[in-house]
Amino acid sequence: SKFSDLKEEHKTVRETSQTTLLQLATLSEETETLRAERKLAGDQMKEAKTKLKESQLMIEEFRREKTGFGRKIEELENEILRTKERNGALVQEKSTMQKAVDEAMRSQEARLLQTNNRVSVEKDSQIQDLHSENSRLKDEIRQT
Protein backbone atom coordinates (compact mmCIF):
# COMPACT_ATOMS: atom_id res chain seq x y z
CA SER A 1 0.00 0.00 0.00
CA LYS A 2 2.81 2.32 0.85
CA PHE A 3 4.57 1.32 -2.33
CA SER A 4 1.43 1.94 -4.28
CA ASP A 5 1.08 5.34 -2.69
CA LEU A 6 4.67 6.16 -3.62
CA LYS A 7 4.11 4.92 -7.12
CA GLU A 8 1.00 7.06 -7.42
CA GLU A 9 2.82 10.08 -6.01
CA HIS A 10 5.72 9.51 -8.38
CA LYS A 11 3.31 9.36 -11.28
CA THR A 12 1.68 12.58 -10.13
CA VAL A 13 5.08 14.27 -9.72
CA ARG A 14 6.09 13.13 -13.21
CA GLU A 15 2.87 14.46 -14.71
CA THR A 16 3.28 17.71 -12.81
CA SER A 17 6.89 17.84 -13.97
CA GLN A 18 5.88 17.30 -17.61
CA THR A 19 3.16 19.91 -17.30
CA THR A 20 5.68 22.30 -15.75
CA LEU A 21 8.18 21.58 -18.58
CA LEU A 22 5.46 22.24 -21.16
CA GLN A 23 4.55 25.47 -19.38
CA LEU A 24 8.24 26.44 -19.28
CA ALA A 25 8.58 25.75 -23.01
CA THR A 26 5.45 27.83 -23.69
CA LEU A 27 6.76 30.63 -21.45
CA SER A 28 10.12 30.48 -23.21
CA GLU A 29 8.40 30.80 -26.61
CA GLU A 30 6.25 33.64 -25.31
CA THR A 31 9.37 35.33 -23.89
CA GLU A 32 11.13 35.06 -27.27
CA THR A 33 8.05 36.45 -29.00
CA LEU A 34 7.91 39.33 -26.50
CA ARG A 35 11.63 40.02 -26.99
CA ALA A 36 11.15 40.09 -30.77
CA GLU A 37 8.12 42.37 -30.39
CA ARG A 38 10.08 44.61 -28.00
CA LYS A 39 12.97 44.81 -30.47
CA LEU A 40 10.55 45.61 -33.29
CA ALA A 41 8.88 48.26 -31.14
CA GLY A 42 12.33 49.72 -30.33
CA ASP A 43 13.23 49.80 -34.02
CA GLN A 44 9.90 51.44 -34.84
CA MET A 45 10.49 53.97 -32.06
CA LYS A 46 13.95 54.80 -33.47
CA GLU A 47 12.45 55.16 -36.95
CA ALA A 48 9.67 57.39 -35.59
CA LYS A 49 12.26 59.56 -33.76
CA THR A 50 14.30 59.86 -36.96
CA LYS A 51 11.19 60.87 -38.95
CA LEU A 52 10.28 63.36 -36.22
CA LYS A 53 13.75 64.93 -36.41
CA GLU A 54 13.51 65.08 -40.21
CA SER A 55 10.08 66.71 -39.95
CA GLN A 56 11.39 69.24 -37.43
CA LEU A 57 14.30 70.08 -39.73
CA MET A 58 11.91 70.48 -42.68
CA ILE A 59 9.66 72.74 -40.60
CA GLU A 60 12.65 74.86 -39.55
CA GLU A 61 13.82 75.10 -43.17
CA PHE A 62 10.30 76.07 -44.25
CA ARG A 63 10.23 78.77 -41.55
CA ARG A 64 13.56 80.16 -42.77
CA GLU A 65 12.30 80.16 -46.37
CA LYS A 66 9.05 81.79 -45.25
CA THR A 67 11.02 84.48 -43.43
CA GLY A 68 13.17 84.96 -46.54
CA PHE A 69 10.07 85.25 -48.72
CA GLY A 70 8.59 87.72 -46.25
CA ARG A 71 11.71 89.88 -46.50
CA LYS A 72 11.70 89.59 -50.29
CA ILE A 73 8.02 90.62 -50.43
CA GLU A 74 8.77 93.59 -48.14
CA GLU A 75 11.71 94.63 -50.37
CA LEU A 76 9.51 94.39 -53.47
CA GLU A 77 6.74 96.42 -51.81
CA ASN A 78 9.30 99.09 -50.87
CA GLU A 79 10.63 99.10 -54.45
CA ILE A 80 7.06 99.52 -55.74
CA LEU A 81 6.56 102.50 -53.41
CA ARG A 82 9.85 104.08 -54.56
CA THR A 83 8.86 103.51 -58.19
CA LYS A 84 5.46 105.12 -57.60
CA GLU A 85 7.19 108.11 -55.96
CA ARG A 86 9.60 108.41 -58.92
CA ASN A 87 6.69 108.11 -61.35
CA GLY A 88 4.81 110.83 -59.48
CA ALA A 89 7.88 113.09 -59.63
CA LEU A 90 8.30 112.34 -63.35
CA VAL A 91 4.64 113.12 -64.04
CA GLN A 92 5.03 116.42 -62.16
CA GLU A 93 8.24 117.22 -64.05
CA LYS A 94 6.57 116.36 -67.38
CA SER A 95 3.64 118.63 -66.52
CA THR A 96 6.00 121.48 -65.62
CA MET A 97 8.01 120.95 -68.81
CA GLN A 98 4.84 120.79 -70.91
CA LYS A 99 3.70 124.11 -69.44
CA ALA A 100 7.11 125.65 -70.22
CA VAL A 101 6.99 124.26 -73.79
CA ASP A 102 3.43 125.53 -74.27
CA GLU A 103 4.46 128.99 -73.01
CA ALA A 104 7.53 129.04 -75.28
CA MET A 105 5.37 127.98 -78.26
CA ARG A 106 2.84 130.77 -77.54
CA SER A 107 5.66 133.30 -77.21
CA GLN A 108 7.32 132.08 -80.43
CA GLU A 109 3.96 132.15 -82.24
CA ALA A 110 3.36 135.73 -81.09
CA ARG A 111 6.85 136.79 -82.33
CA LEU A 112 6.28 135.04 -85.67
CA LEU A 113 2.91 136.78 -86.07
CA GLN A 114 4.53 140.16 -85.34
CA THR A 115 7.34 139.44 -87.80
CA ASN A 116 4.85 138.20 -90.40
CA ASN A 117 2.69 141.32 -89.97
CA ARG A 118 5.73 143.62 -90.24
CA VAL A 119 6.99 141.81 -93.36
CA SER A 120 3.49 141.91 -94.82
CA VAL A 121 3.23 145.67 -94.20
CA GLU A 122 6.70 146.18 -95.73
CA LYS A 123 5.79 144.10 -98.80
CA ASP A 124 2.50 145.98 -99.19
CA SER A 125 4.45 149.22 -99.02
CA GLN A 126 7.00 147.95 -101.56
CA ILE A 127 4.19 146.76 -103.85
CA GLN A 128 2.51 150.17 -103.53
CA ASP A 129 5.84 151.86 -104.33
CA LEU A 130 6.29 149.57 -107.38
CA HIS A 131 2.75 150.34 -108.57
CA SER A 132 3.44 154.04 -108.19
CA GLU A 133 6.78 153.71 -110.01
CA ASN A 134 5.09 151.63 -112.71
CA SER A 135 2.36 154.27 -113.18
CA ARG A 136 4.91 157.08 -113.30
CA LEU A 137 6.96 155.18 -115.91
CA LYS A 138 3.83 154.55 -117.99
CA ASP A 139 3.02 158.27 -117.83
CA GLU A 140 6.53 159.12 -118.95
CA ILE A 141 6.33 156.66 -121.84
CA ARG A 142 3.03 158.16 -122.98
CA GLN A 143 4.40 161.64 -122.88
CA THR A 144 7.39 160.80 -124.93
pLDDT grade for 70, boundaries at 50, 70 and 90: confident
Burial 106-144 (b: 16+ CB within 10 A, else e): eeeeeeeeeeeeeeeeeeeeeeeeeeeeeeeeeeeeeee
Amino acid at site 136: R
- Say yes or no to pLDDT of 67 above 90: no
Give me the pLDDT at residue 65, please. Answer: 87
* pLDDT tens digit sequence for 38-66: 999 999 999 999 999 999 999 999 888 88
* pLDDT tens digit sequence for 3-43: 898 899 999 999 999 999 999 999 999 999 999 999 999 99
- Say yes or no to pLDDT of 76 above 90: yes
- Say yes or no to pLDDT of 84 above 90: yes
- Say yes or no to pLDDT of 130 above 90: yes
pLDDT grade for 107, boundaries at 50, 70 and 90: very high
Q: How far is the C-alpha of 59 from the C-alpha of 55, rounded, in Å?
A: 6
- Say yes or no to pLDDT of 144 above 90: no
